[in-house]
A and B are shown apart, each in its own frame.
Chain A
Amino acid sequence: MVTLEVNGKSRAIDVPADMPLLWTLRDVLAMTGTKFGCGQGLCGACTIHIDGRPTRSCITPVSAAFGKHVTTIEGIGATPVGKRVQAAWSALDVPQCGYCQSGQIMSATALLSAKPRPSDADIDDAMTGNICRCGTYVRIRAAIKRAAGGSGAGA
């Protein structure tokens, strides 16, 4: 048994140390908001935060999160920036099929936490690892700017 802290709660789990966090979350903890997309860190659907840093959970062993704070889409709304990002996503109706949007929101929240006033180039850099096959990129860009504006920092 090891202890994993997810969204502020300690969870005792019995998993191999090399098991990717993605499967720990989805299959062991039944937290299905974090999505499987590619298994190789290529698409970003599985993005979570470890100590606030955006991380591809499909290629990150659970051991990398021991003693650290894991945040997932289920918990990101409890942070001020995450809440603003979710609100901007809703206001602009960003999601279509919605499958990639957990990862998009986690990446966008990490970006805005690090850079409250991101440039277009900052957005490209931070978000280019997150694929959306529905092509919601135009609205993702607008929603990030809206969320940034909502911080009072301007966009």
Chain B
Amino acid sequence: MDTGSRVTREAASSSRRDFLRLTAATALGGGLVLGFAVPARTQVRHAPTTDAPFAPNAFLRIDRAGKVTFVMPVVEMGQGTYTSIPMLIAEELEVDVDKVVIEHSPPDDKLYVNPLVGVQMTGGSTAIRGTYVPLRRAGATARVMLVTVAAQRWKVDPSGCRAQDGAVVHAATGRRLGYGSLVDDAAKLPVPEQVALKEPNQFKLIGTPHHRLDVRGKVDGSARFGIDARPPGMKFAVVAASPTFGGKLIAVDEAKARAVPGVTQVVRLDDAVAVVGVHTWAARQGLAAAAVQWDAGPHATTSMTDIVAQLVAAAERPGAVARHDGDAATAIARAAGRLDAAYEQPFLAHAAMEPMNCTVHMTGEACDIWVGTQVPGLTQAAVMKLTGLKAEQVRIRNHLLGGGFGRRLEFDGTLRAVQIAQQVKGPVQVIWTREEDIQHDLYRPYYYDRLSAGLDPRGKAVAWSHRIVGSSIVARYFAAWIKDGIDPDAVEASVNQPYGFSDVHVDWVAQEAPGVVTSWWRGVGVTRGTFAVESFVDELAANARQDPLAYRLALLDHNPRARAVLQIAAERSGWGKPLPPGQGRGIALCIGFGSFIAQVVQVGVDKDGAVNPAHVWCAVDCGVQVNPDTIRAQMESGIVFGLSAALHGEITIRDGRVEQTNFGDYRVMRIHEAPLIDVVLVQSVEAPGGIGEPGTSCVMPALTNAVFAATGTRVRKLPVKDQAKSVA
């Protein structure tokens, strides 16, 4: 999904070019509406945006009462985007960001295209990167138009007027006109082609911590997630899909299900069954009574040993070459020494706190959908394909997301709900139990990475070879992103690993696990690549009996931002100071999503091998900071999410089915395990980078490197679980 530094360069270059085309219009009922178009990426699947340059992208609406409304092109799933995005607009528009009204955008891949990915998507840590310049320009343009109208009314030069707190003020006389009184005339003006954006030293909002705008509803229970939709007359359905991958429904005891009070209907699908009732409890009990029988299907004997064996065997096949500098194979063969290692990363579930759910009302004319999604446009297109309805008939009302982490980049849950709703009269909310949510997730792929390095006599790596083996999410999700046979996500943070060697070879072998559908998971390819690369560099340092920090720095002469974050994180952590036995510090560097992050994890390992990450220090250079507190929050979040996975996270498959069921056996981090976290923000004027994901990617190798420092045990296969036990 993300192509790291290449995306950053694209974003930077597109922001230099003046792509923004604003359109102004009079709003229904009066007022000013501004829409704008930003360029789509070249590899666009859906949106021929080049043919429609004046189509609005996101909307800024000011009514006659001066109320300012932003229609958000991205969705809030915890990452703070409903605060930082309005800050961008408010900064230039000169309005109080706390008074801005925020609306979810309706589905439209053209109007609300994410310029970094080509469709309407919240993902890949792209929200700020994609909007940093366009949204500020939208605010500035509106401001200039409003000032122009005020100056005309007063018959004064616009240069003597300034915008301030939702009004235009004439400096010489102190006269003042609120935006609401200006909007009707502003809407009649031509939209200025060029407006000056503030210089960073003029920012009043950007770069200052701002409280989240969505907190109130999230502390008093009034925030509405998809699962909270309650259209009148709604029924509740609990769904069970085939427990084995690719299995089919054979039989269901409909009479027994319907005997449960409150059950109204049983819906049979090819590979699933749903019981509908007047409340979820009736539906759940009905499903339990239904004695559902399944045909296990073609993957009934698939288990982890086969899946892993296939990956290991695939590593012997030649890979598609993603990078080839010099001649790494020869250089490694001729080197004074060599080091080889292989790393394995497991299938992972997302386990967002809000279980999968979707509410659908199918009528003859339309399909109304209430859901929280990262991809409203793709979802709408998929529903159109399933139902044969037209775009205007598929009406998606997006909601706050009770966690995304990549899971809600998929629309399988919505399609399932539509299939069920096609057989139900009136609106129906389809809820997945937690067990269903974990056993029918679309999983982070199981990856097998094999690395080799050639060493000089002092142990310094001089040549580097990396083979990546695993599923291609891109091939299923967005095949157009595959270029020259290379899945850019699958080789991310590996093809562009930051360490300087003259001979580098990186290739990848696509190997799908039978029956297992894979998908995006927080940090995507950067998470996979960072674990492999940062683990191996740490092994190289240990092999050379050198300090892991010093070893890295010596290979990063050319990369001052990487060096800086490593040095800051190390310094804050007390790097190099002795620790008691059984404790250790590990360090890792992550360059991804346009940001530079280094983390030091300090762990204690007890006699039973239990790994306790006590403290994490995190240095972040994400370029220009929009809302510093959001950056801190996302680092805290990413660290806990990554530690959770690295310590415990593992989906395993036995006889074609997922073995884990709920939080009892899919263990996630709880408060008593959470480390202290210190985040250091590095001031920077570079283009803004993404912050939602790299904190997760960085912490996994930092943790396992710390386990090595504490115990001498090198964790090459995640999760850590009890691997430190024998040595502690």
Q: Given the known A-B contacts A90-B216, A99-B403, A100-B353, are A42 and B662 also in contact in the complex, defined by CB atoms under 8 Å?
A: yes
In the bound assembly, the distance between CA atoms of A127 and B673 in angstroms comes to 11
Closest Cβ of chain B to A108, distance in Å, is 11
Task: Give the number of residues in A that approach B within 8 Å (Cβ atoms).
Answer: 58
Task: List 13 extra interface pairs beyond A94-B215, A99-B225, A138-B677, CB under 8 A.
Answer: A27-B279, A31-B221, A32-B221, A36-B227, A39-B284, A40-B434, A72-B221, A74-B220, A90-B219, A128-B672, A130-B671, A137-B640, A141-B671
In the assembly, what is the distance between CA of A44 and CA of B100, in Å?
Answer: 33
> Do residues B221 and A74 form an inter-chain contact, with CB atoms below 8 A?
yes
The answer to the question of B200 belonging to the interface, with a C-beta cut-off of 8 Å to chain A, is no
Please pick, from A45, A86, A93, A96, the residue contacting B211 in the complex, using a CB distance under 8 A.
A93
- Given A38-B663, A74-B220, A131-B353, are A98 and B236 neighbors across the interface (CB < 8 Å)? no
Assess A134 versus B637: contact at CB under 8 Å? Given A38-B662, A93-B215, A141-B671: yes
Can you name 12 A-B residue pairings with CB atoms under 8 Å? A26-B280, A27-B280, A38-B434, A97-B78, A97-B352, A97-B402, A98-B218, A100-B353, A131-B668, A134-B403, A135-B644, A137-B670
Q: Is A110 an interface residue (CB 8 A)?
A: no
- CB contacts (< 8 Å) of A97 on chain B: these are 76-78, 352-354, 400-404
Complex alpha-carbon distance, A138 and B222, angstroms? 24
B627 to chain A, nearest CB (A): 10
Shortest beta-carbon distance from A64 to chain B in Å? 15
- State the 6 A-B residue pairs at the shortest beta-carbon distance, nearest first: A33-B221, A135-B640, A99-B402, A98-B218, A97-B78, A96-B78
> Taking chain A's interface residues, is the majority helix, strand, or loop, or is none over half, making it mixed?
loop
Q: Which residue of A lies closest to B402 (CB)?
A: A99
Q: Which residues of A lie under 8 Å from residue B219 when comparing CB positions? A: 86, 89-90, 94-95, 101, 105
**Cβ-defined contact, B220 with A86, below 8 A:** yes
Most buried by B among A72, A96, A139: A96
Q: Please judge, given known A-B contacts A96-B80, A124-B672, A137-B640, whether A16 and B215 are in contact too, CB under 8 Å.
A: no
Measured CB to CB, the closest approach of chain B to A138, in angstroms, equals: 5
| B interface residue numbers (CB < 8 A to A) | 76-80, 211-212, 214-225, 227-228, 230, 236, 261-262, 278-281, 284, 351-355, 400-405, 431, 433-434, 629, 633, 636-641, 644, 662-664, 668-672, 674, 676-677
B670–A135 touching, CB < 8 Å: no
A39 in contact with B434 given A33-B222, A128-B671, A131-B663 (CB within 8 Å): yes
List of A residues within 8 angstroms of B279 by Cβ:
15, 19, 23, 27-28
Chain B residues contacting A105 (CB-CB under 8 Å) are 219
Given A33-B221, A38-B663, A99 and B353 contact (CB-CB distance below 8 Å): yes
A27–B281 contact, CB under 8 A? yes
Question: Which chain B residues border A89 with CB–CB below 8 Å?
Answer: 215, 219
A36, B637: Cα distance in complex, Å: 22
Instruction: Tell me whether B224 and A32 are in contact (CB under 8 A).
Output: yes
Assess whether B664 is in contact with A40, with CB atoms less than 8 Å apart: yes
For residue A121, which residue of chain B has the nearest CB?
B672
Contact partner, A96, options B225, B434, B633, B677, Cβ 8 Å: B633
Write out the residue numbers on chain A whose beta carbons fall within 8 Å of the beta carbon of B402: 35, 97-99
Whether the pair A73, B637 counts as a contact (CB closer than 8 A) is no
When distances are taken between beta carbons in the complex, the residues of chain B under 8 Å from A148 are none
**Complexed CA–CA distance, A136 and B677 (Å):** 11
Interface: A34 (CB within 8 A): yes
Q: Give A30 to B228 CA distance when docked, in angstroms.
A: 9
Do the beta carbons of A133 and B403 come within 8 Å of each other?
A: yes
Query: Is the Cβ of A20 less than 8 Å from the Cβ of B434?
Result: no
B residues less than 8 Å from A133 (CB atoms): 351-353, 403, 405, 641, 644, 668
Rounded to whole Å, the gap between the CB of A7 and the closest CB of chain B is 10
Q: Most A CB atoms within 10 A — which of B220, B221, B352?
A: B221
Does B664 contact A93, Cβ atoms closer than 8 Å? no
A77 within 8 A of B: yes
Find chain B residues with CB under 8 A from A81 CB: none
Check B351 against A135 for contact (C-beta < 8 Å). no
A-side contacts of B671, CB under 8 Å: 123-124, 127-128, 130, 132, 137, 140-141
Question: Please, which residues of chain A bring their CB within 8 A of the CB of B434?
Answer: 37-40, 42-43
Instruction: Give complex CA distance A122, B677 in Å.
Output: 20
A residues in contact with B404, CB < 8 Å: 97
Among A26, A27, A93, A125, contact of B212 (Cβ-Cβ < 8 Å): A93
CB distance from A147 to the nearest CB of B (A): 12
Given that A95-B212, A95-B215, A99-B353 are known contacts, is A19 also in contact with B221, CB under 8 Å in the complex? no
List of B residues within 8 angstroms of A96 by Cβ: 78-80, 633, 637
Query: A99-B402, A133-B405 are contacts. A36–B222 as well, Cβ < 8 Å?
Result: no
Kindly list chain A residues whose C-beta atoms are within 8 Å of the C-beta of B637.
Answer: 96, 134-136
Q: Distance in Å from the Cβ of B701 to the closest Cβ of chain A?
A: 18
Whole-angstrom distance from the CB of B76 to the nearest CB of chain A?
Answer: 8
